[in-house]
Structure 1
Amino acid sequence: MRYDARGKRGFTGLQKCVAAIKLMAMGESPDSVDDYMRMSERTARENLYLLARGVVETFSDQYLRKPSLHDMQQLSAAREERHGFPGMLGSIDCTHWKWRNCLVAWKGQVVGSNNDVNVLDQSLIFDDLLSGKAPDAPFTVNGNEYKFGYYLRDGIHPQYSTFVKAFRHPIDPRDKYFKRRQEGVRKDVERAFGVLKSKWHIVEHAARPYELDTL
């Protein structure tokens, strides 16, 4: 909280946080805060960026890092206990956030498609699994031992060994059961993104920043 050249006191830290969270929760443009808090568009936008940057700097070491071997083993054990899939690291699904101000020269080159930004982005673990550099997380299925974990996907993605897809047209009862369980697990991830968009409407609307680093 500072004083300007007129000696007028500025907004408190709590007011700035409220403005930033309001923009994220409502998905409104920064100039909408002027009617509610008498805060300028520039101040509201800067508060939003500062809050987001502060969250990243505070929690990145714990939540935005590459999982260790111990983390992968814990993930695999939790997935097996809850869903019955040994060795599964998770279910990869994604949602796209449209970038309204994407540069024409960058169209199709940004992660995602056209002028969209993939919210999930590419997992560092997934990249290591494709290149065979991931830590060994062995598991056994039907008497066969496997070295690396895997992810559940739907049928439209490439045929990678790290993907386990459901049967397209199952006939055997076991295949039908597997398809039902596999699709049920993937629904959990889709619901998670649904909750994300319902709580933070900023993801439902086109992203307004001009710089990719800000996004």
Structure 2
Amino acid sequence: MEQDEHQRQMEMELDDLEDFTLLTMSMGGPQKCVAAIRILAYGLPANAVDEYDVRRLVEEGEQRGFPGMLGSTDCMHWTWRNCPSSWKGMFTGRGKSPSMILEAVASRNLWIWHAYFGMPGSCNDINVLNRSSLFDRFMQGTSTPVNFTVNGHSYNMGYYLADGIYPDWPAFMKTVRQPMEMKTRLFTAKQEGARKDIERAFGVLQARWAVIRGPAYPWDRDDVRDMMTACIIMHNMIIEDEGDRATNTIFENPGQHVDLSTGNLGDRHAFVQAHHRLRDRDVHFRLQSDLIVHNWKLHGSRVTSAMDVPHV
């Protein structure tokens, strides 16, 4: 019982990390000032100013041929050298050594926007997704709205680029297996190229911090979690320092204030609706089809043969 409680504690979302990075380090000087003033003046919770970051991510996705994209997601294993013998079976998965899993979302500049760490290495990406809080705010009705139009169809949910193991939800945009048509092959190349953002973020994270590149030596799981959290925070600090993030933002129509009286889950009806919206396979495939057409309109005139499709 004590072990299960300890595991649940380790598998919690890195809430402090997400609030710290999203709301302070990710903004330029003017955005930080306006966000702080709004929180002080209106009594808003810190996550009420996420809309500025989301707006910037959506604009970036639009420029890359993926309107509504919020980044790319994947999982990474970190070998745990001193895993207790009684836990090795649970923490050993695809490799020969015990490990813990990091689920993350990254944008083009390699900024890590979401991090969930601590699941045993025997789990796959779907197991991690089912335990993480990546969509908690969406289910609670407190996430920043994302509205966009592709190929004449309107959508009201952002999405992440992901690989084939992820479910066919509107919240994930996957590649097309064995594409045959030229426009489908073009979409596949573009999707796989953009999805490398998360793989590059993992690579840079490991290259910068040798402690992550090698196995984790602590005996205590909390110590391993703290090491990963510290490395991700410092990774984002370096990304901010190296990149030009002082972009001009128009702070008009900031949106409605958060109603704190409704609680976290809201009413049951809204929760059930959000559950079905998140897992709507029809919307997933319609959005994928629209993005294929959208990218073909953007780049198809330069593709006359299979040789012209960019290689990933």
TM-score (structure 2 length as normaliser): 0.43
Q: Which residue of the partner structure matches residue 184 of structure 1?
A: 193
Q: Which residue of the partner structure matches residue 87 of structure 1?
A: 68
Is 1:75 equivalent to 2:57 in the alignment? yes
**Larger fraction in helix:** 2
| Contact 1:93/1:186 (<8 A) preserved | no
Q: Which residue of the partner structure matches residue 24 of structure 2?
A: 62
Deviation at 1:188, TM superposition (A): 2.6
CA distance in 2, matches of 1:139, 1:107: 46
Give per-residue Cα distances to partners, 1:10-53, cap 9 Å, x unaligned.
Answer: xxxxxxxxxxxxxxxxxxxxxxxxxxxxxxxxxxxxxxxxxxxx
Highest CA radius of gyration, 1 or 2?
1
| Contact 1:98/1:115 (<8 A) preserved | yes
CA distance in 2, matches of 1:71, 1:204: 30
The SS at the match of 1:175 is helix
CA distance in 1, matches of 2:89, 2:155: 36
The SS at the match of 2:222 is coil
CA distance in 2, matches of 1:108, 1:137: 42
Matched length = 155
| Contact 1:135/1:148 (<8 A) preserved | no
Pair 63,107 (structure 1): closer, same or farther in 2 beyond 3 Å = farther
The SS at the match of 2:205 is helix
Q: Which residue of the partner structure matches residue 11 of structure 1?
A: none
The SS at the match of 1:92 is strand
Pair 150,109 (structure 1): closer, same or farther in 2 beyond 3 Å = farther
The SS at the match of 1:151 is strand
1:103 alignment partner, one of 69, 80, 84: 84
- Bigger relative CO (Cα 8 Å, ≥ 6 apart): 2
Letter in 2 for 1:115: P
CA distance in 2, matches of 1:181, 1:132: 32
| Contact 2:157/2:170 (<8 A) preserved | no
Deviation at 1:159, TM superposition (A): 2.5
Letter in 1 for 2:78: W
Deviation at 1:200, TM superposition (A): 1.7
1:117 alignment partner, one of 92, 97, 100: 100
Aligned ranges 1:100-179 → 2 under 5 Å? 100-106=81-87, 115-119=98-102, 120=104, 121-122=115-116, 124-129=133-138, 131=139, 133=141, 134-179=143-188
Identity %: 41
Structure 2: gaps spanning 5 or more residues? 1-16, 27-45, 105-114, 117-131, 225-312
Letter in 1 for 2:98: N
CA distance in 2, matches of 1:159, 1:98: 30
Pair 139,103 (structure 1): closer, same or farther in 2 beyond 3 Å = farther
CA distance in 1, matches of 2:135, 2:56: 17
Is 1:211 equivalent to 2:193 in the alignment? no
Deviation at 1:88, TM superposition (A): 0.2
The SS at the match of 1:96 is strand
Deviation at 1:139, TM superposition (A): 1.0
